[in-house]
Amino acid sequence: MSSVAPAAGGVGVLPRRKFELVLAGMPRRRAAEKRFRLYGQIAIGLGLAFLVILFASIILNGYTAFWQTHIRLDVTLDAARIDPQGNRDPEALRRADYNELIRDQLRAMFPDVSGRRDRLALYGLVSNGASFDLRDRVLANPELVGQKIALWVPADDDIDMLMKGNVDRSVPESDRRLKDNQLAWVDKLAAEGRLQQRFNADFFTRGDSRDAELAGIWGAAVGSLLTLMVTLALSFPLGVAAAVYLEEFAPRNRWTDLIEVNINNLAAVPSIVFGLLGLAVFINFFGLPRSAPLVGGLVLTLMTLPTIIIASRAALKSVPPSIREGALGIGASPMQVMIYHVVPLALPGMLTGTIIGMAQALGETAPLLMIGMVAFIADIPKGIFDPATALPVQIYLWADSPERAFVERTSAAIIVLLAFLAVMNAVAVVLRRRFERRW
Amino acid sequence: MQPSVLVLVLLLLSSAAYYAGRKRAFTVAQGRLRNLQSLPAYYGLYTAIWCGLPALLLLAAWVSLEHTIITNAVVAGLPEEIRQLGPDRLNLIVNDIKNIVQGNIVSRAPDAVMDAAAGRYRSLLAISHAAMFVVALALAIGAAAFTLTRIKPKQRARNAVETIILALLIACSTIAILTTVGIVLSVLFESIRFFQAVPVTDFLFGLDWSPQIALRADQAGSSGAFGAVPIFAGTFMITLIAMAVAVPIGLMSAIYLSEYATRQVRAVAKPLLEILAGIPTVVYGFFAALIVAPFLRDTGGMFGLGIASESALAAGLVMGIMIIPFVSSLSDDVMNAVPQAMRDGAYGMGATQSGNHPPGDLPGGTARHRRCDPARGVAGDRRDHDRRDGGRPRRQPHREPIRGGHHRDGADRHAADRRPGVRQSQDPRGVRAGVGAVRGDAGPERDRPLHRAQVPGAV
């Protein structure tokens, strides 16, 4: 650096001083290069770390919801109380007071509990749904009347949380949802082997409920399925038809430009705006029912249409012109070329785009909130006109519930939703890998 | 008769019309197909379309209008004192009548007037459905019969069918415009109503957001305020935080993945990052509320900062994570668009691989220098696979390393990069360009929206 050698005279030869300057700068530049690289690695690491944290926290919070604490009760199905006439009439069996039977059993197990408040606390150990389980069991098998049966009933969600270790016993009693006497009863039940973690089938077969231990995702899953069926039935034909027209038949004029600008704009419209549109047009103007999968499907159709159109156009574009020319050459009309040659060849690409659009629709919450699919709906929807909710909306609803047990349920519902999304995207990837032809 | 049953009947009728039309074509051709202008199936299709389409359109119009008309008729038949009620009260009554008709729970005790109105509604609906059934069936059968009698050997059935199909395609493609118009109108009318109650200036410049309107003057909610500045401020703050998270991470990971990473790392890391874009937003919200917000609150607490659980920090952070893949895919695109000549020029001036990234090249993407970095020797030509489809080998003529002194012209390569799916080397350039010109898609910018729109589901 301190060299003062005179510059060599030749044309095109770097003066020695400058060359040394460049050389001297190299370590610094290499270090900068390394740092830059490191920044890149850190950025990717951060992105992946976020992904891992997201998945880990959801799974760790949620996997326990697939098990539910059950309490074993030995219920005596007293014939005189369930079926006073003795004719096993289903109507009489349905009307019997099973709740009282369960309460009797609980009192018999803890005979020293007295006082109204303590008794209510005792009854609270067992889920509200226990009597319905018992009733269903008796209705399915009327011979049980008069016998003493061992019945596993779901425990209350607080007990469930206690057994899963989510309740801190060291907190002062006044700050706990479970009081000391309840803890003592639970410990006694556990010591007798009457508490067990069983597979939570209710979670997959029931609709929504205010009681966390009875809440399931089946209602929401059916709602999502119906909504997606409407979406698929409308958006695939519409999207493919629009793509075929724009890609193959549309003349290049202002009208076509207007359509294309609109499609590209709609792809960028926030999804909640589609909900506003659905509310104004489908519900208020056409008078379609609120909260119905039909309206949800219509709204999601409009939302996914740009995705499908754009993907279908790309698929059509990738069919080589030689196919078209060959078909035209042997006398097919342009429409015949399209229907018999180009569209079948582009179909895998179109289907891939459609599945990706469906996956997008499955995960969408905001537009469904606007059209009333956010209601509390305990029944399983039976058709596209019934009130329903959808999986992401169910997650949204549960996430608002204050009970600790709903945190677990929400995470479990998210796991199910992500599993559906993963399957759909995997199908799209497989479809693309297997059927997409490269020309 | 339910409309859905009628649709089914019409579909059955029109498939019967298809066979009738085809048979008729054979008959008029006297058994010799070459007498026919079109293939027999087109005569069948022509008949089927005329049988089904007008009737179905009529059905759609009927179903969408009948309830409005019947409601008006029923309201007109209500006693005078009920019709004198304000529109809100009248609406409630109409709702009750509809609930009685559908057998739902009604908000009031049943009375004779309501029951009579409901009975009237029911009978009108029954008449309407019966009339619809008769008219639609008559239209379908009449149109099919008329079309059948018109079938002649020289009739241009294929052209007619194709015109109708083209019209349907055009109708499908205008849905985008209708949607836009619908969005604009539905938002516009509600906004006009809103701004009639609340002055625009109050909304745009008001500092107080407390959206409530009292039903009566003496109610608690009468102090409603609709100043949207807090909302705008919150949105901008969350956006800024999200950008502060997503831009550095997204940009740097795009640069790393496209310039430095080996093919294996790229093939794994890029799809993994794109999973972030496929996760539903509600999951991010739950993640923010459950994990991020308490974490920030506790961390802030350690440093004596009171961070609320609903802070913009948590929301912005999570939104930033959510848009990392968008930022990185877009940056990747832009970098792919930089001509190779620019990179080579930068190397020629002695730039290192990263040295001139931030100041020199980011405006137009970043330089791509690996092939002549003296420190690294000549790297393998990793650019020979298509970025868009996750590392599939790109079939284009192998580019010479710069050492050899001549490489493909940057602009040319650029054009090849931008046409996903179409492989330049496979078709003669003249044909491709000719068809492109006819179809009017020669411009590379028509590919752009595809990539962006595909990102969200690109798990």
Query: Same structural domain for residues B32 and B146?
Result: yes
A363/A392 Cα distance (integer angstroms) = 6
Could you tell me which of B27, B267, B168 has the C-alpha nearest to residue A339? B168
Q: Do A32 and B183 touch (CB under 8 A)?
A: no
In chain A, residues with a C-beta closer than 8 Å to the C-beta of B324 are 47, 50
**Is B73 at the interface with chain A, CB within 8 A?**
no
Best of A277, A324, A369 to mutate (most B CBs within 10 Å, chain B) = A277
Res A275 pLDDT > 80: yes
Query: Same structural domain for residues B214 and B131?
Result: no
Query: Same structural domain for residues B38 and B187?
Result: no
Res B166 pLDDT > 90: yes
The percentage of chain B sitting over the pLDDT mark of 70, rounded to a whole number, equals 72
Q: Residues B10-36: pLDDT tens digits? A: 999 999 999 999 999 888 888 788 888
Residue B152 forms part of a structural domain:
yes
Q: Do A30 and B457 touch (CB under 8 A)?
A: no
**Is B6 at the interface with chain A, CB within 8 A?**
no
Residue B349 forms part of a structural domain:
no
Neighbour-count burial of A361, counting CB atoms closer than 10 A to its CB (0-12 exposed, 13-18 middle, 19+ buried): buried
In chain B, residues with a C-beta closer than 8 Å to the C-beta of A333 are 158, 162
State the pLDDT at residue A88: 75
Q: Residues A241-268: pLDDT tens digits? A: 999 999 999 998 999 999 999 999 998 8
**Is A369 at the interface with chain B, CB within 8 A?**
no
State the pLDDT at residue B105: 67
Range(s) of chain A covered by CATH 1.10.3720.10? 218-435
Task: Tokens for B19, please give them.
Answer: 């066979």
Residue among B249, B435, B453 minimizing CB distance to A43: B249
**Among residues 92-151 of chain A, which lie with CB inside 8 Å of chain B?**
none
**Is B450 at the interface with chain A, CB within 8 A?**
yes
**Is A53 at the interface with chain B, CB within 8 A?**
yes
Residue among B183, B189, B432 minimizing CB distance to A321: B432
Q: Residues B401-410: pLDDT tens digits? A: 433 333 334 3
**Is A22 at the interface with chain B, CB within 8 A?**
yes
Neighbour-count burial of A434, counting CB atoms closer than 10 A to its CB (0-12 exposed, 13-18 middle, 19+ buried): exposed
State the pLDDT at residue A395: 93
Query: Same structural domain for residues B101 and B207?
Result: no
Residue among A47, A238, A277 minimizing CB distance to B182: A277
In chain A, residues with a C-beta closer than 8 Å to the C-beta of B278 are 359, 363, 421, 425
Query: Same structural domain for residues B134 and B17?
Result: yes
Average pLDDT over residues A406-429: 92
**Among residues 332-361 of chain B, which lie with CB inside 8 Å of chain A?**
350, 352-355, 357
Res A74 pLDDT > 60: yes
Average pLDDT over residues A117-137: 85
Average pLDDT over residues B399-424: 39
Q: Do A425 and B453 touch (CB under 8 A)?
A: no
Instruction: Among B164, B192, B227, give the residue marking a domain's end.
Output: B227
**Is B459 at the interface with chain A, CB within 8 A?**
yes
In chain A, residues with a C-beta closer than 8 Å to the C-beta of B280 are 362-365, 392, 417, 421
Average pLDDT over residues A40-60: 93
Res B82 pLDDT > 80: no
Task: Tokens for A342, please give them.
Answer: 């180009």
Residue among A48, A396, A425 minimizing CB distance to B278: A425
B393 Cα to chain A: minimum distance (Å): 11
State the pLDDT at residue B38: 87
B276/B427 Cα distance (integer angstroms) = 38
In chain B, residues with a C-beta closer than 8 Å to the C-beta of A307 are 453-454, 456-457
Report which of residues A118 and B379 the model is more confident about. Answer: A118
Query: Same structural domain for residues B74 and B206?
Result: no
CB B388 within 8 A of CB B420: yes
**Is B453 at the interface with chain A, CB within 8 A?**
yes
**Is A87 at the interface with chain B, CB within 8 A?**
no
Task: Tokens for A417, please give them.
Answer: 């939703």
B180 Cα to chain A: minimum distance (Å): 7
Res A87 pLDDT > 70: yes
Res B7 pLDDT > 70: yes
State the pLDDT at residue A334: 92
State the pLDDT at residue B181: 93
In chain A, residues with a C-beta closer than 8 Å to the C-beta of B375 are 30, 33
In chain B, residues with a C-beta closer than 8 Å to the C-beta of A32 are 352, 354-355
State the pLDDT at residue B167: 94
Q: Do A241 and B251 touch (CB under 8 A)?
A: no
Q: Residues B125-145: pLDDT tens digits? A: 889 989 999 999 999 999 999
State the pLDDT at residue B370: 39
The interface pTM score, or ipTM, of the predicted complex is: 0.87
Instruction: Among B162, B196, B227, give the residue marking a domain's end.
Output: B227
Q: Do B291 and A53 touch (CB under 8 A)?
A: yes
State the pLDDT at residue B332: 83
Q: Do B282 and A307 touch (CB under 8 A)?
A: no
A367/A361 Cα distance (integer angstroms) = 10
State the pLDDT at residue B86: 76
H/E run at residue B244:
helix B229-255
**Is B248 at the interface with chain A, CB within 8 A?**
yes
Query: Same structural domain for residues B43 and B119?
Result: yes
In chain A, residues with a C-beta closer than 8 Å to the C-beta of B253 are 40, 43-44, 47
Query: Same structural domain for residues B159 and B55?
Result: yes
Report the DSSP pairing between strands B209-210 and B385-386.
unpaired
Report which of residues A32 and B48 the model is more confident about. Answer: B48
Out of 3.40.50.10890, 1.10.3720.10, 3.40.50.300, 3.50.50.60, the CATH code matching A218-435 is 1.10.3720.10
In chain A, residues with a C-beta closer than 8 Å to the C-beta of B392 are 438
In chain B, residues with a C-beta closer than 8 Å to the C-beta of A322 are 427, 431
Domain count, chain B: 2
Average pLDDT over residues B110-132: 84
- Residues spanned by the domain of B99: 3-172
Most confidently predicted of B140-144, B150-154, B192-196, B410-414: B140-144
Query: Same structural domain for residues B151 and B37?
Result: yes
pLDDT band with cut points at 50, 70 and 90 for residue B456:
very low
A187/A174 Cα distance (integer angstroms) = 19
Query: Same structural domain for residues B62 and B139?
Result: yes
**Among residues 157-176 of chain B, which lie with CB inside 8 Å of chain A?**
158, 162, 165-166, 168-170, 172-176
Q: Residues B229-285: pLDDT tens digits? A: 999 999 999 999 999 999 999 999 998 888 888 889 888 888 888 888 889 999 999
Report which of residues A171 and B107 the model is more confident about. Answer: A171
Most confidently predicted of A89-103, A380-394, B363-377: A380-394
pLDDT band with cut points at 50, 70 and 90 for residue B114:
confident
The percentage of chain A sitting over the pLDDT mark of 90, rounded to a whole number, equals 41
Q: Do B282 and A396 touch (CB under 8 A)?
A: yes
Angle at B282 between CA B279 and CA B287, to 5 degrees: 85
pLDDT band with cut points at 50, 70 and 90 for residue B424:
very low
pLDDT band with cut points at 50, 70 and 90 for residue A7:
very low
In chain B, residues with a C-beta closer than 8 Å to the C-beta of A421 are 278-280, 459
Residue B220 forms part of a structural domain:
yes
Q: Do B180 and A276 touch (CB under 8 A)?
A: no
Res A316 pLDDT > 70: yes
Query: Same structural domain for residues B66 and B189?
Result: no
How many other CB atoms are found less than 10 A from the CB of residue B291? 18
Query: Same structural domain for residues B127 and B206?
Result: no
In chain A, residues with a C-beta closer than 8 Å to the C-beta of B185 are 280
| Sequence-distant (≥ 6) Cβ neighbours of residue A324 within 8 angstroms | A337, A341, A342, B435
In chain A, residues with a C-beta closer than 8 Å to the C-beta of B190 are 276, 280
Residue among B158, B282, B432 minimizing CB distance to A395: B282
State the pLDDT at residue B399: 41
Residue B342 forms part of a structural domain:
no
Best of B45, B175, B291, B426 to mutate (most A CBs within 10 Å, chain A) = B175
pLDDT band with cut points at 50, 70 and 90 for residue A294:
very high
B207 Cα to chain A: minimum distance (Å): 25
